[in-house]
Amino acid sequence: MRFPAPLVPATLIRRYKRFLADARLEADGREVTAHCANPGAMTGLAEPGMRIWLEPNDDPKRKLRFAWKLVELGEGHWAGIDTMLPNRVVREALEARAVPALAAYDSLRPEVRYGTGSRVDFLLRGHGLPDAYVEVKNAHLSRQEGLAEFPDARTARGLRHLEELATVARAGHRAVMFYLVQRTDCTRFALAADIDPAYAEGFARARAAGVEVICHACRIDTDGVSLGRTLPMSG
């Protein structure tokens, strides 16, 4: 997934109201307000003074002329903060058959209704294969060196998705929870059970019901974000 416009560097001043961030552009020192497409806690990724990268736009329909996309983590590492990007990254990878665990499927439909009023991110189909229901979650919390975690805040919606996937698995279909780690400094993945015990309990029930777990890292730079290597799950 390539960014449609070249990103510009800035210094974060503050993030507020969840979806807004003030930043100072490096090029001319202007202070601008950027859209922050992330409802989560963003622990460790929204500290004033961090170097961030913004995507400019000249769309008259948009209220804000910038969108916050990346954070520099130091030592050449990056984190993506846009929680809308993982679905685009995973879709590109699925269509290219670049996800080994799901490479046999040749048909993809996004946002398909299932369960009790939910929409699955992707429904995959292939000749002679059980339907595969795939939910994608963005992970960019890291509280220990090299370890990515999910979630970074309590998520009733995430728990509901686990329950819906468990029902699908019991019905004989493939049900997949796909965690995409949107940072380049992590080599393994785990649940943040202390942040959301209910989610961790729901995850255990879903696994027992047959829900599969896939976790991949990302390749990230100022040109774009793409699927990286698989990551092992700890715990």
Place of tokens 């979806």: 19
Give the pLDDT confidence score for residue 25 in this predicted structure. Answer: 98
Residue 234 has pLDDT above 90, yes or no: no
Which CATH entry fits the domain spanning 8-80: 2.40.50.580, 2.40.128.50, 2.60.40.10, 3.40.50.300?
2.40.50.580
Read off φ and ψ for residue 171, nearest 5 degrees: -80, -5
- Mapping DSSP to helix (H, G, I), strand (E, B) and coil, where does residue 199 land? helix
| Strand pairing category for 132-139 and 118-125 | antiparallel
Tell me, what's the pLDDT at 83?
95
pLDDT for residue 145: 96
CA gap 175, 172 in Å, rounded:
9
132-171 tens-digit pLDDT: 999 999 999 999 999 999 999 999 999 999 999 999 999 9
Tokens of 7: 């990103």
Report the CATH fold assignment for 85-230: Trna Endonuclease; Chain: A, domain 1 (3.40.1350)
Fold: same for 8-80 and 85-230: no
- Give the gyration radius of the chain's Cα atoms: 18
The 10s digit of each residue's pLDDT in 7-61 is 999 999 999 999 999 999 999 999 999 999 999 999 999 999 999 999 999 888 8
DSSP 214: E
pLDDT tens digit string along 94-135? 999 999 999 999 999 999 998 888 899 999 999 999 999 999
Pairing type for strands 31-35 and 66-74 reads parallel
Compute the average pLDDT of residues 203-210.
98
> Average pLDDT, stretch 166-178?
97
Distance CA 178, CA 180 (A): 6
Q: Which residues pair with 212 in a beta bridge?
A: 176
Instruction: Give tens-digit pLDDT for 55-84.
Output: 999 888 888 999 999 999 999 999 999 999
| Confidence (pLDDT) at 165 | 97
Measured from the Cβ of residue 18, the count of other Cβ atoms closer than 10 Å reads 13
Per-domain residue ranges of the chain? 8-80, 85-230
